[in-house]
């Protein structure tokens, strides 16, 4: 099932998140979270394309990434990072394949996307 209409802003953010993930600019956990953040918005794509990211996000949501790491102690971070690396290694191939598939869909949708809901006109 498609979610909403193809919103240019949303698709641009999804594309950037996927490119960052595929290029290794962010760790797998952080990249997955960034993609999931946009999965509930008007992207006009099949929700099935986002399911791998939602699933992996659920499995890795306990790991600190980004600014929240500043609130953790060194020992706790070391333990969490060791677990996170194992989880990321386990999911990496599936996530990267899913990211490529989703990026292809985003690239197809972007040229015909709009900034406003065509149904509201």
Report helix, strand or coil for 56. helix
Cβ atoms of 39 and 7 within 8 Å: the answer is: no
Q: Please give the chain's pLDDT, 121 residues, in tens.
A: 666 668 899 999 999 999 999 999 999 999 999 999 999 887 889 999 999 999 999 999 999 998 999 999 999 999 999 999 999 999 999 999 999 999 999 999 999 888 876 666 5
Cβ atoms of 8 and 38 within 8 Å: the answer is: no
Confidence (pLDDT) at 2: 65
Can you give the residue ranges of every domain in the chain? 8-112
| Contact residues for 21 (Cβ-Cβ < 8 A; gap 6+) | 28, 31, 32, 34, 35, 95, 96, 99
Confidence (pLDDT) at 7: 83
């Amino acid at each position: 099932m498609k979610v909403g209409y193809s919103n240019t802003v949303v698709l641009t953010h999804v594309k950037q998140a996927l490119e960052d993930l595929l290029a290794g600019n962010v760790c797998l956990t952080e990249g997955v979270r960034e993609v999931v953040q946009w999965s509930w918005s008007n992207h006009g794509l099949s929700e099935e394309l986002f399911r791998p990211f939602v699933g992996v996000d659920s499995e890795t949501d306990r790991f600190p990434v980004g600014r929240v790491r500043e609130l953790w102690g060194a020992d706790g971070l070391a333990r969490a990072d060791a677990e996170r690396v194992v989880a990321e290694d386990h999911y990496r191939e599936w996530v990267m394949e899913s990211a490529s598939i989703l990026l292809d869909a985003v690239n197809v949708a972007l040229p015909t996307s709009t900034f406003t809901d065509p149904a509201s006109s």
